[in-house]
Structure 1
Amino acid sequence: MFEKIQGHQTITSHLEKEIKTGEVSHAYLFSGIDGLGKKKTAREFAKALLCQDQRDKGCGHCSVCTQIDHENHPDVKIIGPKAGEASIKISQVREMISELSIKPYSGNWRINIVDGAERMTPEAQNSLLKSLEEPLCYNIFILITSHIQSILPTIRSRCQSYHFQPLSLVDLETVLCQETDFDKNTVSEVVGAASGSPGMALYLLSNSEIQKERTHFLRELYSLLKGDEIKVFTLAEVLSKDKATSQAILEFFIHWFYEVSLLLEGHPLPNHGEPNPAHRAYHHLLENEKNQAIIKTLFEMMATIQYNVNLRLQWEKCFIKIMKIQKG
């Protein structure tokens, strides 16, 4: 079943080898930007471990594989932020932990997947830590994250880590042309903006207004960095409508400044993509040290909004700090 995973053959080969040799770890950390197939890989890994028709690979069509695809297999627990929530609460982690002592229903493993692990509150992460330190022999944990820096070092050190790289532009375009009905010209328009992520590319293909919205926010943020203090309040007002909006734009900003940092350090963009006019404008405006401080500030904002806070106030504080960083 791992052949369904595009662009991550090294990782899937390692996982398949671990199953065949019986050297499966008790905890894994799948990291990389959103939309690369980390959760899909976790599901295929679960199938390979639990499928009774085709052990070590997973057949994809038996009752076990079908239940895993539908996320209702009794031995595969998946948690993530609840609808309308920005974080994974400690209550969700405690509920998962309370079931760890239950022996597997049909196979040899219980697989516990935390999707969006960076969104666990610090309390939730600390609650999970003890289970990672003293795992029962039949429990496997798979933590999926797009921001590995937000995972506690003590958790990271107890996991076998696999970092998912963005797909090349050629591979991404090939995947989209094979798996969607969009014409090649439409696909080509979004490939460059998807940062090597099939999930992001599909999202942009289905939501044409998103790219326009992001371009707008980058212009507004650029004006803020140039000293337009009014943007602190207008941007904060727009971005504070709900946590989901804040989370999505914050992730976009973090990835954007990461790409700017690559240019400032003399490195190519992911997959050797060409800088667009916005990249060049930010590149000329920022210094690397200040850019890194802005990224740190955005990660701090990410941690803050996991709690029940006043989003508008937090965005205002964040933007004011970013302006001060730029002013030096």
Structure 2
Amino acid sequence: MVGFNNIIGHEEIIRHLKNAIETEKVSHSYILTGDPGSGKKLLAGTYATALQCEEGGTEPCGKCESCKKAIGKNHPDIIMVSHEKPNTISIDEIRDQVVNDVSIKPYFSHYKIYIIADAELMTPQAQNALLKTIEEPPEYAVIMLLTSNADGLLPTIRSRCVRLDLKVVDDGLVKKYLMEHLQIPDYQADIDTSYAHGSIGKAKEAATSQEFADMTQNALKILKYADTMEVYELTDAIKNLTSEKQNISDYLDIFLFWFRDVLMFKATREIDNLVFKQEINYIKEQASKRSYENLEKILDALDKTKVRLRANVNTELALELLFLTIREK
């Protein structure tokens, strides 16, 4: 069932949107900004559905003709702006789908709503074309710009929109969602939640992705035995990681959680707050072998590796330097 009640977190934004419906103070233009997977599309879609709902409440009823069309993604008055090229939204696309279309009145709803995902991809010309519509919109128009980089929008656009910043969702809520809605076991939910950094979308992706499960197992194999691996085994491991270049950042996150766990257990001897609780025997062993200084060095080396990779340093070399630090006694 679609509805604000089913959205995890973002209470302030939901309050604002419901209040806008209730008081009939719906803005003509919004910017929803937040990290990928933070729930921008879900919030925008739910708001659009609620605005068009024939019941006229602050929650979509889910049963009327308008709600059914919105849920089925074929509502003629809720327009998802699309673009051909993956990294740009052109002036022609904005003209065709928004600027020239907005003068046509809604087909059977109170509003005509345009949702532009990845709005930062609009070229400056496309944004300028949209600006006139944002400045002088017909009374029924609502334009929602979804972005993970609000600074990619022109100041003139930003100053004319109501801006709603999506904050990260509390880890406890993310874990609860994974366990209750996706039936993810406790220990796996811990890993997925840590990886997600407060993003429900990212947590769902991790929880339902075989690739992420394989990656976690592969990372754990390296982490558990990095100290005792033969040099050739380590070289092979580095080569395998290098070949999975697109996943390196995720691997480094998993390594980071592991060594934080080791440090945390060394300092507190408590299991409750560990990400990898089910690997407690290995964590215990490493905590007893490694010094605080060594663990701090490894965590520092992980941060440096991320910086190096962002600066396009050779991946294999960056990983070799990291593993030298990990193997230091």
What's the TM-score once normalised by structure 2's chain length? 0.66
User: Pairwise mapping of residues 28-47 of structure 1 onto structure 2 (< 5 A)?
Assistant: 28-47=30-49
Matched, 1:281 2:283: no
- 1:151 Cα shift? 1.7
Over 3 Å counting, the alpha-carbon distance change for 1:276 and 1:141 in structure 2 is farther
Q: Which runs of 4+ in 1 moved over 4 A?
A: 210-216, 272-279, 282-286
Report the equivalent of 1:88.
89
Structure 2 runs not aligned, ≥5 long:
220-241, 254-272, 276-294, 314-329
Choose from 75, 79, 94 the match for 1:73.
Answer: 75
- 1:186 Cα shift? 1.6
Over 3 Å counting, the alpha-carbon distance change for 1:189 and 1:151 in structure 2 is same
Q: For the residues of structure 1 that align with 2:33 and 2:296, how far apart are their CA atoms?
A: 26
User: Pairwise mapping of residues 102-181 of structure 1 onto structure 2 (< 5 A)?
Assistant: 102-181=104-183
Asked whether the 8 Å contact 1:177–1:184 carries over to 2, the reply is yes
Asked whether the 8 Å contact 2:106–2:140 carries over to 1, the reply is yes
Q: For the residues of structure 1 that align with 2:299 and 2:213, how far apart are their CA atoms?
A: 15
Q: How many equivalent residue pairs?
A: 253
Report the equivalent of 2:312.
319
Over 3 Å counting, the alpha-carbon distance change for 1:8 and 1:126 in structure 2 is same
Report the equivalent of 2:189.
187
- 1:35 Cα shift? 1.4
Over 3 Å counting, the alpha-carbon distance change for 1:183 and 1:213 in structure 2 is closer
Over 3 Å counting, the alpha-carbon distance change for 1:102 and 1:276 in structure 2 is farther
Work out the percentage of aligned pairs sharing the same amino acid: 30
Which secondary structure state, in structure 1, belongs to the residue aligned with residue 163 of structure 2?
Answer: strand
Which secondary structure state, in structure 2, belongs to the residue aligned with residue 193 of structure 1?
Answer: helix
RMSD (Å), alpha carbons:
3.8
Asked whether the 8 Å contact 2:32–2:163 carries over to 1, the reply is yes
Counterpart amino acid of residue 64 in structure 2: C
Q: For the residues of structure 2 that align with 1:86 and 1:276, how far apart are their CA atoms?
A: 39
* Structure showing greater Rg: 2
Asked whether the 8 Å contact 2:178–2:207 carries over to 1, the reply is no
Which whole-Å deviations, capped at 9, do the CAs of 1:60-99 have from their partners, x for residues lacking one? 22221121122210111012444x7232232221112211
Matched, 1:201 2:193: no
- 1:279 Cα shift? 5.5
Q: For the residues of structure 2 that align with 1:12 and 1:160, how far apart are their CA atoms?
A: 14
Asked whether the 8 Å contact 1:25–1:140 carries over to 2, the reply is yes
What's the TM-score once normalised by structure 1's chain length? 0.66
Structure 1 runs not aligned, ≥5 long:
217-234, 240-244, 257-271, 299-317, 321-328
